[in-house]
Amino acid sequence: MFEIKICGVRLKSDIDAVRAACDGISSTHDASPNADAARRNHSVAVGLNFYPPSVRFIEPADPSSRSLSTAAQDAGLLRVGVFVNETAAAIQAVNSVVGLDAVQLHGDELIQTAIELIASGHSVIRAIKLPTVDLSVDLIEQRVAPWTEVGCHPLLDADAGAAHGGSGKTLDWSIVSAWAASHPDLAWTLAGGLNPDNVAAAITESTAKSIDTASGAEETRGIKSPSKIQAFFQAASRL
């Protein structure tokens, strides 16, 4: 679905920073110094957060949200809408206003919500919330399998409780790797506390081919940092 996702963008300058970071690395789609091919093939994504309590929330009814989505589309970026405990109908309504390429369910949604969205043509990412201690291969499998069986793309994240993501907590990447080894053909994404300082190790230890960060690309909570976005892309360029 994507190789790198910067979640919680709120400003046109955030989109510009992601695009600039793309242009500064080589991609798996193109060995040239720029990332035009990567963007065209949707290997880079941005997350638009529609969860009102979040510091990264954008109001879907505000015209600026549609403008932000359009800017991402024009930059060749995959647009992922992040939702928490919304109905399929509510998510579809936001999509019709803002314009999204994929939907991320990051709350306590029932599988039926994903089934309805997939049936209506949506690509669905499911955040799988996992403990940062006492993690096991069996536990990952128990939480992932019901969602992949209906066609969701799993995103493994550290459980942030009521905050529903963006906590900066990391998972045990060695356990994730052990789980992934039994699913060589499954596309999945690693999240949870990834930042420019640890993402290279996370990729190596977890064997992730797709990564996601929110707080790891921020100067202060909810405010993206162009320099950290650039550093994140550079560190993750081994994907």
Q: Name the CA radius of gyration of the chain, rounded.
A: 16
Q: What is the pLDDT of residues 38-56, one digit of tens each?
A: 555 559 999 999 999 999 9
3-class SS string, 26-71: CECCECCCCCHHHHHCCCEEEEEECCCCCCCECCCCCHHHHHHHHH
- Residue 108, classified by CB atoms within 10 Å of its CB into exposed (0-12), middle (13-18) or buried (19+), is exposed
Task: Name the pTM for this structure.
Answer: 0.92
Rounded to an integer, the average pLDDT of 107-131 is 98
DSSP character string of 139-160? HHHHHHHHHHTTTPEEEEEE--
What is the residue whose two structure tokens read 């060589």?
184
% of the chain residues with pLDDT over 90: 85
Q: Please check the confidence at residue 186 and state whether its pLDDT lies above 60.
A: yes
Q: Which pair of structure tokens corresponds to residue 74?
A: 């024009």
More confident residue, 161 or 116: 116
Q: What is the pLDDT of residues 192-234, one digit of tens each?
A: 999 999 999 999 999 999 999 999 999 999 999 999 999 999 9
SS3 82: strand
CATH class label, 4-235: alpha beta
Sign (positive or negative) of CA dihedral 173, 174, 175, 179: positive
7 beta partners: 47
Report the mean per-residue pLDDT for the chain. 92
The pLDDT, as a whole number, for residue 90 is 99
Query: Do the Cβ atoms of 64 and 10 come closer than 8 Å?
Result: no
